[in-house]
Amino acid sequence: MRFLNRAIALSFVAALAATPALADDRGTPEQAKTLLEKAAVHFKDVGADKAMSDFNDPKAGYQDRDLFIFVYGPDGKVVCVPGIPALVGRDASAAKDVDGKEYGKAIIAAANAGGGWTDYRMTNPATKKVEPKRSYAVKVGDYVLGSGAYVLASDK
């Protein structure tokens, strides 16, 4: 019986210890913005083709946990989105979230206004659940660069 009680207690402690680790696996909106600022400098320094190649390379330093860089081209189409090649070539201004919010237009508008945040709801590929997402976008030349983080209700 003593062994069973210890096993239950250890299982409970392990479960509690694992809970914060799940939150640690998520990037924050501020970390997404910092990643984007680094990406924007890189984009200016090496040009669009090399930068987007690097953004798609998981070892190049532009992907961190669930954070990554996305890029809309001068024509408003998605030209880079690591891990989701089906989105490349789509009209970003036509993108809507699960609630019908035209988040693509909002992201483009925020970038054109000098940079800014857009809040919307998307399916998180890691959890397979619809969650709030907060993305920051900037304009670099004729391109829109962005990065976003899935946020927990406690993070808002």
- Strand 67-68 versus strand 78-80 pairing type: unpaired
- The per-residue pLDDT for 2 is 47
Cβ atoms within 10 Å, residue 80: 23
pTM of the predicted protein model: 0.81
The whole-number pLDDT of residue 154 equals 56
Give me 135's structure tokens.
Answer: 């993305």
Q: What is the model's pLDDT at position 155? A: 53
Are 147 and 136 in contact by the 8 Å Cβ rule? The answer is yes
**In this predicted structure, what is the pLDDT of residue 4?**
32
Q: Name the CA dihedral angle for 30, 36, 42, 45, rounded to a multiple of 10 degrees.
A: -110
List, for the chain, all residue ranges whose pLDDT scores fall below the cut of 70. Answer: 1-24, 153-156
